[in-house]
Amino acid sequence: MTYTIYGDLGSGAFSSEAVLAEAGAPYTFELVALDKNAQKAPEFLKVNPSGKVPALRLPDGAIVTESLAIVLAVADRFPAAKLLPDAGSAKRAEAYRWLAYMAGEIYPMVEIVDFPERFVPAGIEADTLRAKARSRARENLLLIERAIEGPWFLGQDFSALDIYVAMFTRWRGTMGRDWLEGGHIPKLHALGEKLSQRERVAPVWQRHFKRD
């Protein structure tokens, strides 16, 4: 009954591994080295034809892709872990709102910042697009910063939102190290620090972000 995560350290695979760890699920981590373009290798394309990480193989062999879908699937399979507020509650709806916002508004900007040449020719056009996308990603994080209740995203209770949003604060190449460390998002940094000390998440955090 083991789950398998396919991904790279420091990537979106962090959220997948962290929710499994928090749930106490048995899993293995299969490294897909992005710096070696391993996500485009034939072996991985059999797992996820889109050539993107993370991907999750369920114990029955089924594959789940897209980081948000993985987080929700794990939350559904391990309700005792309380990765999301109670079904049908206002807090559950709020959790869905912000998870969808992050997946729909921030993640696309990350791809553009990291790989602008996928969208426009290399050179000035790519540099301009990267700068615009980075600015938009920062605006989105500032909006989330204002929405956080504290000490966790939804107030006193930890949830998968904390794992998902903290991940973006560690992508310094995308967001800009100077900006992230410039005091713009103090509540998000406090949340990340609190998450990094959570018993089951701490080892995962260290594996993915200790190089920072």
Question: Position 212: which residue type?
Answer: D
Per-residue model confidence (pLDDT) at position 123 = 97
Burial class (CB in 10 A: 0-12, 13-18, 19+), 71: buried
Q: Which residue among 38, 53, 81 closes a domain?
A: 81
> How large is the average pLDDT for residues 55-74?
98
* Distance from C-alpha of 3 to C-alpha of 148, rounded to nearest angstrom: 31
Q: What is the pLDDT of residue 33?
A: 97
Please tell me the distance from the alpha carbon of residue 50 to that of residue 53, in angstroms, as a whole number.
Answer: 9
CATH of the domain at 178: 1.20.1050.10
Q: Are residues 70 and 99 in the same domain?
A: no
Whether residue 24 has pLDDT greater than 80 = yes
Residue 16 domain boundaries: 3-81
Q: What is the pLDDT of residue 210?
A: 84
Q: Which of 81, 99, 134 is the last residue of a domain?
A: 81
73: its two tokens: 């699937």
Q: What is the mean pLDDT of residues 121-128?
A: 97
- Which pLDDT score is estimated for 212? 56
Q: What is the mean pLDDT of residues 131-141?
A: 98
Same domain, 76 and 103: no
Phi, psi of 67 (to 5 degrees): -60, -40
Q: How far apart are CA 205 and CA 212, in angstroms?
A: 11
Share of the chain above pLDDT 70, in %: 99
Which pLDDT score is estimated for 77?
98
Confidence of residue 211 (pLDDT cuts 50, 70, 90): low
Tally the domains of the chain: 2
Domain edge (last residue) among 58, 81, 104? 81
pLDDT tier for residue 76 given thresholds of 50, 70 and 90: very high
Residue of 83, 60, 74, 59 whose CA lies nearest to 16: 74
> Could you read off the pLDDT of 148-180 as tens digits, one per residue?
989 999 999 999 999 999 999 999 999 999 999
Distance CA(139)–CA(184), nearest Å, equals 10
Average per-residue pLDDT for the chain = 96
Write the DSSP symbol of residue 152.
B
